[in-house]
């Protein structure tokens, strides 16, 4: 009897669909972010995992190619609204205004982009049918690009482990949330254009910018914080949302960044951007040469 039971178990374990793949919920980010994530999703499906990509019905780039499952939900905005917000954002970068006007204009346009794109998340959480489907599907984990915090909120809501697939977050958040040492004397902050070798005054500037980091992301993520506090029914901070990520897969290369300590669950996968390589066109080669010369001149 015991032997027969044992054989039955071995037989069950040998059935590939029961012993192999996991069930993964993917919460992607629009645009170029999705271009790097898509091959990963396709590969995971190919390897026998059950992958479901969750996406708003209105999207620039996320399409059903038949190589993975998709679950979409209706949203109230149009593609034109996304286009307009993004055009304003790009235009703000090209205005070339003097300091501090440039900072204000860039900040406001970023806040506008964040709130326009974040509407999809509010509408996801007001869609009972989709939430019920997600809760009942028995996913093992969530893979998400954290830039809009929707995937992190959803993973917290469904109490699932989550993995980040990302380029970076504003305000040094991906280093703060993972508790990386980040000494102000050596790690230059975004917008300062300092290097890891700073003069005394550059270090002072770095320290001042790092103080702003505590504030300006609360502006970018105001809607996300309100929504996640509502759905998780507690006061949520950005760090709360981010710090329980199991692994962060970082889509950039260590050698292109300033040298800084990172935690063991932060893994550099910059090579993934070159998965679909093609030779550079002549114009690009010329441009690349100029950029390199520029860098040499800067030194
Ligand atoms: C998911 O469904 C279970 C059982 O139906 C329920 O107890 C739980 O509260 C639901 N969770 C969420 C986040 O909706």
Q: Where are the beta strands (DSSP E) in 176-220?
A: none
Cα 177 to Cα 200: distance, rounded to the nearest angstrom: 27
Q: Which atom of ligand 1 has the smallest separation from the CA of 131?
A: 14
Cα 44 to Cα 32: distance, rounded to the nearest angstrom: 20
Residue 94, φ and ψ in degrees, nearest 5: -95, -5
Q: Which residues form the domain of 197?
A: 2-298
- Is residue 125 within 6 Å of ligand 1 at its C-beta? no
From 126, 127, 135, 139, give the residue whose CB has the most ligand 1 atoms within 8 Å, as the site to mutate.
135
Cis upstream peptide for 100 (omega within 30°): yes
The pLDDT of residue 296 is above 60 = no
Separation of CA 134 and ligand 1 centre (Å): 10
Any idea what the CATH number is for the domain that residue 136 is in? 3.40.50.2000
Closest CA to 75 of 117, 123, 29, 127: 123
pLDDT at 4: 54
- Is residue 157 within 6 Å of ligand 1 at its C-beta? yes
Residue with tokens 């993917």: 26
What average pLDDT does this structure show over 21-40?
92
Cα 109 to Cα 87: distance, rounded to the nearest angstrom: 10
Q: What is the pTM of this model?
A: 0.84
Residue 109, φ and ψ in degrees, nearest 5: -70, -35
Per-residue model confidence as pLDDT tens digits over 210-229: 998 878 898 899 999 999 99
How many domains in the chain? 1
Q: Which atom of ligand 1 has the smallest separation from the CA of 157?
A: 13
Per-residue model confidence as pLDDT tens digits over 118-174: 999 999 999 999 999 999 999 999 999 999 999 999 999 999 999 999 998 989 899
Angle at 227 between CA 225 and CA 229, to 5 degrees: 65
Per-residue model confidence as pLDDT tens digits over 224-251: 999 999 999 999 999 999 999 999 999 9
Separation of CA 191 and ligand 1 centre (Å): 43
Which residue's CA is the nearest one to ligand 1's atom 3?
135
How sure is the predictor about 299, in pLDDT bands with cuts at 50, 70 and 90? very low
């Amino acid at each position: 009897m015991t032997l027969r039971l044992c054989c039955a178990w071995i037989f069950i374990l040998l059935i590939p669909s029961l012993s192999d793949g996991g069930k993964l919920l993917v919460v992607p980010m629009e645009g170029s972010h999705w271009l790097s994530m898509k091959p990963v999703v396709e590969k995971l499906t190919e390897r026998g995992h059950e992958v479901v990509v969750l996406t708003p019905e209105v999207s620039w780039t996320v399409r059903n190619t038949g190589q993975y499952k998709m679950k979409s939900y209706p949203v109230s905005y149009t593609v034109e609204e996304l286009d307009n917000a993004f055009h304003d954002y790009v235009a703000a970068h090209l205005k070339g205004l003097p300091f501090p006007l440039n900072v204000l204009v860039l900040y406001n346009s970023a806040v506008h982009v964040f709130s326009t794109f974040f509407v999809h998340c509010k509408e996801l959480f007001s869609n009972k049918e989709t939430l019920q489907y997600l809760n009942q599907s028995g996913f093992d984990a969530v893979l998400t690009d954290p830039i809009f915090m929707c995937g992190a909120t959803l993973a917290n809501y469904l109490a699932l482990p989550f993995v980040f697939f990302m380029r970076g977050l504003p305000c040094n958040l991906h280093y703060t949330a993972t508790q990386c040492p980040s000494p102000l004397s050596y790690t230059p902050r975004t917008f300062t254009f300092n290097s890891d070798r700073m003069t005394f005054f550059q270090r002072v500037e770095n320290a001042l910018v790092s103080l702003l980091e505590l504030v300006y992301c609360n502006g970018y993520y105001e809607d996300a914080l309100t929504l996640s506090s509502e759905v998780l029914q507690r006061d949520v901070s950005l760090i709360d949302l981010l710090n329980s990520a199991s692994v962060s897969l970082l889509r950039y290369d260590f050698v292109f960044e300033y040298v800084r300590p990172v935690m063991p669950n932060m893994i550099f996968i910059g090579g993934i951007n070159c998965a679909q390589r093609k030779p550079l066109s002549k114009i690009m080669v010329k441009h690349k040469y100029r950029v390199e010369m520029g860098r040499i001149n800067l030194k």
